[in-house]
Amino acid sequence: MEMETRSEKYAADISTIREAQARIESFIHRTPVLSSEFLNSIAGRTLLFKCECFQKGGAFKFRGACNAIFSLDDHQAAKGVVTHSSGNHAAALSLAAKLRGIPAYIVIPKNAPKCKVENVMRYGGQVIWSEATMESREDTANQVLQETGAVLVHPYNDRRIISGQGTVALELLEQNQKIDTIIVPISGGGLISGVALAAKSMNPAIRVLAAEPRGANDAAQSKAAGRIITLPETNTVADGLRAFLGDLTWPIVRDFVDDIITVDDKQIIEAMRLCYEILKVAVEPSGAIGLAAVLSDGFRKNPAWKDCNNIGIILSGGNVDLGVLWDSFSKN
């Protein structure tokens, strides 16, 4: 009964997430969970890293994209899909479309990181350039929509996407039954919405915490204000975490995310370095933010989280230009 109430109130629920899992599991990688005793000793807790950087396309985004693409009926699908995402969602949608044999039109701002553009091309997406502003991106996408009749697949404010991303939590909690806390990067809220709905449904005692860059802390401000706050500008090395919450993700974040931990870029880069040097996993800045959060004073010194002993951390993606990476390390 509770679930029925939820599915009216929220964009997804445990049953849409389980449906997504059944729909996509033959296409996705079941990503491994890694751990390091050295990182455990630094954190003073057991950390379990869910390596979505090893997902196809290099990020968790393939889960949602796959669920969206394979949810389309044949008539819709034939016309293809469009998105104006800047990166990982675009690559993921391209790859999922390729698997179904339909076109993916990807509107990309001219300032997007090179490796993310290469990923889109590698996976067969048709790149359509726009200016860097959100207005130009949306206008260009609308133009493509009108010309092709394709279906818009929003990177996060979409029930199919939220349900697909939630499969990360289903897998993680199957892989490790001791997890009492999950820390998830937050941007537009697609991943954390799916994770929170799945995890809280499987075990209401699990804490779901968001990690957010200080220079793009719209979600923390939104939680504090009780309504969606957007920012006039964002400034963070974590280029994947600059989006704002949408009307479908906000109610889930508001009601199911226990707290938002804010970290600065220096902490993100230090966490990224630990991922490379200790875990041996190549993450992008957005992907390392969960580790930055558990190592931050904001988490460690908060008595509310002192009983978080087995923490699942979602390493959300690994698409980074090595040159940009090195610049970050050198400057910090």
Q: Which of 81, 282, 288, 289 binds a copy of itself (CB under 8 A)?
A: 282
325 membership: H or E segment, kind and range: helix 322-331
Based on CB atoms, which residue is closest to a copy of itself, 62 or 70?
Answer: 62
Distances (CA, A) of 245 to 188, 189, 190, 308: 4, 6, 9, 26
Under the binding rule (CB under 8 A), the answer on residue 32 touching a copy of itself is yes
Q: Site for a copy of itself (CB under 8 A): how many residues? A: 27
Q: Which of 281, 291, 295, 314 binds a copy of itself (CB under 8 A)?
A: 281
User: Taking contact as CB under 8 A, which single stretch among the options 124-132, 165-173, 273-281, 302-310 is the one that binds a copy of itself?
Assistant: 273-281
Report which of 20, 26, 171 is spatially closest to residue 100, judged by C-alpha positions.
26
Q: How far is the CB of 150 from a copy of itself (least distance, A)?
A: 24
Distance (Å, whole) CA 142 – CA 98 = 22
Q: How far is the CB of 129 from a copy of itself (least distance, A)?
A: 23
Order of strands across the sheet that contains 259-263: 33-34, 46-51, 310-315, 181-185, 207-213, 259-263
Based on CB atoms, which residue is closest to a copy of itself, 29 or 306?
Answer: 29
Under the binding rule (CB under 8 A), the answer on residue 124 touching a copy of itself is no
* Residues classed as catalytic: 61, 86
Positions in 58-97 near a copy of itself (CB under 8 A): 58
Q: Which of 17, 24, 28, 54 binds a copy of itself (CB under 8 A)?
A: 54
228 membership: H or E segment, kind and range: none
Distance (Å, whole) CA 113 – CA 224 = 32
Report which of 280, 282, 231 is spatially closest to residue 58, judged by C-alpha positions.
282
Q: What are the φ and ψ backbone dihedral angles of 10, each rounded to 5 degrees?
A: -120, 160
Under the binding rule (CB under 8 A), the answer on residue 314 touching a copy of itself is no
Under the binding rule (CB under 8 A), the answer on residue 26 touching a copy of itself is no
Question: Residue numbers of the site for a copy of itself (CB under 8 A)?
Answer: 29, 32, 34-35, 37-38, 51, 53-54, 56, 58, 115, 122, 273, 275-283, 318, 322, 326, 329
